């Protein structure tokens, strides 16, 4: 009985830890969504074939990159400022932030949509007809994807990373899976553009639910009028954050772009499958980062420096070891999982291991990018990540023609390692402590 009581007490203590529970819930959503995404991609790859899947994945990467640029850094900015406004009970500023971020994301999303369509159809880009058709459909999703990112940022600020990620990470893959299954069931044409129409429907569904959740979680802001506007301040912070967001998208996208152009859609499709599998190891990292944004922003607004440092270290410690466990399992199962995509995908088995190693390096610094943004160091971060983005593009341009799919993997590993080390040094210089789980407390305080 005593042992049972002690166990129950330990469980209660863990349940009281809101950060850990929210991170666990966000992680569960991401893992469940990853499973659905993987299943939908497996079915799509077998339905479309290697070349068709390459065109489909290329279109989706273009749309995701355009949407990330269209939200102009406001997804993280809204988390930072909305958390502060809620702490200060400043509902008028909160309402202004909501309206401003929505309008900017949708307006720039329309511009990005048209720009994507124009760029994709230029002969100089070198895309084939199937790739262009898929891209034109994918471009229609750009304004909605940008607004989903804004809704995600606001929901994080409202105190729930799990609800923030539910529509985009779980609902959208579920709708995509249902859409692809329906297309196969009715005997629709097996081409990338048709698959992208299913993706567009899934995005529309996720967009509706995302904003229903954000509106409900921040419903108190809608009861005040007029809103208070701080456009210059929001825009100034967002500019630095945009560079950080752009870096993440460049690192995750430029290799796939260039493989489709400099190699072939088949090579791009195989690499995309490996990249999606490797990204499974990063879900602990992103789940912890999702929770960290709101918590660290609130502590920074309160000026609680001791609690801020303690919480930052705790978030860093939550990231590495689960990532190592996931990476080990994925490395062992990788070749088998690639075979599930169909013939020709196994060529990415070696590069998959290198991509997994890059995510392990990233996990050693925890949610350090979020830490720097929430403490108003986004300008220095922007300069650092701009250099890393240039490094990434340069390495891909040099290594892909020489090494093919291996060149893309080495470029990703080198860039991720450089960025992680640089951000750790910047955090130590700016905040006074090492945000690295492998460093002991004594050495951090040295």
pLDDT digits (tens, 9 = 90+) for 18-53: 556 666 676 677 777 777 877 887 788 888 887 788
pLDDT at residue number 7:
34
Q: Cβ neighbours of residue 16 under 8 Å, at least 6 residues apart?
A: none
Please confirm whether the linkage preceding 226 is cis (ω < 30° from 0).
Answer: yes
Q: How far apart are CA 423 and CA 177, in angstroms?
A: 37
pLDDT at residue number 420:
87
Q: Cβ neighbours of residue 378 under 8 Å, at least 6 residues apart?
A: 237, 240, 241, 243, 244, 372
Residue 12 banded pLDDT, cuts 50, 70, 90? very low
pLDDT at residue number 367:
73
Residue 345 banded pLDDT, cuts 50, 70, 90? confident
Alpha carbon of residue 76 to chain centroid: 12
pLDDT at residue number 302:
65
Helix-helix angle 320-341:18-70, to 10 degrees = 50
Q: How far apart are CA 102 and CA 98, in angstroms?
A: 6
Q: How far apart are CA 126 and CA 54, in angstroms?
A: 14
What is the radius of gyration, based on Cα positions, of the chain?
22
Q: How many of the other CB atoms lie within 10 Å of CB of 343?
A: 10
Q: How many of the other CB atoms lie within 10 Å of CB of 99?
A: 13
pLDDT at residue number 20:
60
Own/partner contacts of 344-350, CB < 8 Å, gap of 24 or more, are: 344/50, 344/266, 344/269, 344/270, 345/45, 345/50, 345/269, 345/270, 345/273, 345/274, 347/270, 347/405, 348/270, 348/271, 348/273, 348/274, 348/405, 349/274, 350/406, 350/409
User: Contact 362/285 with Cβ under 8 angstroms?
Assistant: yes
Q: What pLDDT, in 10s, does the model give residues 166-191?
A: 887 788 888 888 888 888 888 877 78
Q: Which of 328, 436, 283, 435 is nearest to 371 (CA)?
A: 435
Q: Regarding predicted confidence, which is higher, 157 or 101?
A: 101
Residue 410 banded pLDDT, cuts 50, 70, 90? very high
The residue written with tokens 């300008």 in the block is: 379
5, pLDDT greater than 50: no
Instruction: Please state whether 102 falls in left (phi above 0), alpha (psi between -120 and 50) or beta.
Output: alpha
Tokens of 266: 């088949």
Instruction: Calculate the dihedral angle through the C-alpha atoms of 354, 356, 357, 361, rounding to the nearest 10 degrees.
Output: 140
Q: Dmax of the chain from CA atoms?
A: 75
3-state helix, strand, coil in the chain (%, to 5): 85, 0, 15
User: Contact 283/30 with Cβ under 8 angstroms?
Assistant: yes
Q: What pLDDT, in 10s, does the model give residues 282-336?
A: 777 766 666 665 666 666 666 556 666 666 666 666 677 788 888 888 888 888 8
pLDDT at residue number 442:
42
pLDDT at residue number 13:
45
Q: What is the mean pLDDT of residues 223-228?
A: 80
- Mean pLDDT for all residues in the chain: 79
Q: Regarding predicted confidence, which is higher, 445 or 117?
A: 117
4, pLDDT greater than 60: no
Q: How far apart are CA 337 and CA 45, in angstroms?
A: 13
Q: What is the mean pLDDT of residues 385-407?
A: 91
320 in helix, strand or coil?
A: helix
Share of the chain above pLDDT 70, in %: 81
Q: Regarding predicted confidence, which is higher, 3 or 168?
A: 168
Residue 357 banded pLDDT, cuts 50, 70, 90? very high
The residue written with tokens 């666990």 in the block is: 24
The residue written with tokens 């996208």 in the block is: 253
Own/partner contacts of 327-331, CB < 8 Å, gap of 24 or more, are: 327/281, 327/356, 327/357, 327/359, 327/360, 330/277, 330/278, 330/280, 330/281, 330/356, 331/356
pLDDT at residue number 396:
92
Greatest mean pLDDT among 56-70, 233-247, 403-417 lies in: 403-417
Q: How far apart are CA 97 and CA 95, in angstroms?
A: 5
246, pLDDT greater than 80: no
State the DSSP code for 432: S
Q: How many of the other CB atoms lie within 10 Å of CB of 212?
A: 12
Q: Regarding predicted confidence, which is higher, 399 or 57?
A: 399
Q: Regarding predicted confidence, which is higher, 354 or 276?
A: 354
pLDDT at residue number 352:
92
């Amino acid at each position: 009985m005593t042992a049972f009581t002690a166990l129950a007490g330990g469980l209660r203590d863990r349940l009281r830890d809101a950060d850990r529970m929210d991170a666990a819930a966000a992680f569960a959503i991401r893992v469940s969504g990853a499973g659905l995404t993987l299943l939908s991609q497996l079915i799509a790859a077998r339905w479309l074939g290697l070349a068709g899947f390459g065109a489909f994945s290329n279109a989706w990467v273009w749309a995701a990159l355009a949407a990330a640029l269209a939200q102009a850094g406001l997804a993280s900015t809204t988390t930072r400022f909305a958390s502060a406004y809620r702490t200060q009970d400043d509902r008028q500023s909160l309402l202004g932030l909501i309206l401003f971020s929505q309008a900017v994301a949708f307006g720039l999303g329309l511009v990005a949509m048209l720009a994507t369509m124009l760029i994709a159809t230029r002969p100089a880009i070198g895309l084939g007809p199937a790739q262009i058709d898929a891209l034109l459909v994918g471009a229609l999703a750009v304004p909605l994807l940008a607004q989903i990112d804004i809704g995600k940022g606001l929901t994080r600020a409202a105190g729930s990373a799990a609800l923030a990620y539910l529509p985009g990470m779980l609902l959208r893959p579920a709708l995509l899976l249902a859409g692809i299954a329906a297309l196969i069931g009715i005997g629709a044409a097996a081409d990338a553009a048709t698959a992208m129409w299913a993706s567009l429907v899934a995005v529309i569904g996720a967009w509706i639910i995302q904003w229903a959740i954000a509106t409900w979680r921040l419903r108190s802001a809608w009861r005040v009028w007029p809103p208070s506007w701080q456009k210059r301040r929001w825009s100034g912070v967002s500019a630095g954050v945009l560079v950080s967001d752009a870096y993440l998208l460049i690192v995750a996208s430029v290799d796939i772009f260039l493989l489709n152009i400099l190699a072939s859609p088949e090579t791009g499709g195989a690499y995309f499958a490996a990249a999606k599998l490797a990204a499974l190891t990063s879900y602990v990292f992103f789940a912890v980062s999702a929770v960290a944004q709101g918590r660290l922003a609130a502590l920074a607004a309160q000026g609680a420096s001791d609690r801020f440092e303690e919480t930052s270290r705790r978030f860093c410690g939550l990231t590495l070891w689960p990532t190592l466990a996931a990476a080990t399992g994925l490395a062992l199962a990788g070749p088998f999982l690639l075979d599930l995509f169909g013939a020709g995908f196994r060529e990415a088995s070696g590069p998959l291991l290198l991509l997994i190693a890059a995510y392990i390096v990233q996990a050693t610094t925890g949610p350090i990018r979020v830490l720097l943004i929430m403490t108003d160091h986004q300008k220095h971060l922007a300069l650092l990540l701009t250099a890393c983005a240039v490094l990434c593009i340069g390495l891909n341009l040099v290594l892909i023609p020489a090494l093919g799919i291996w060149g893309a993997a080495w470029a990703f590993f080198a860039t991720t390692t450089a960025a992680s080390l640089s951000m750790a040094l910047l955090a130590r210089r700016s905040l006074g402590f090492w945000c690295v789980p492998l460093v002991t407390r004594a050495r951090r305080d040295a």
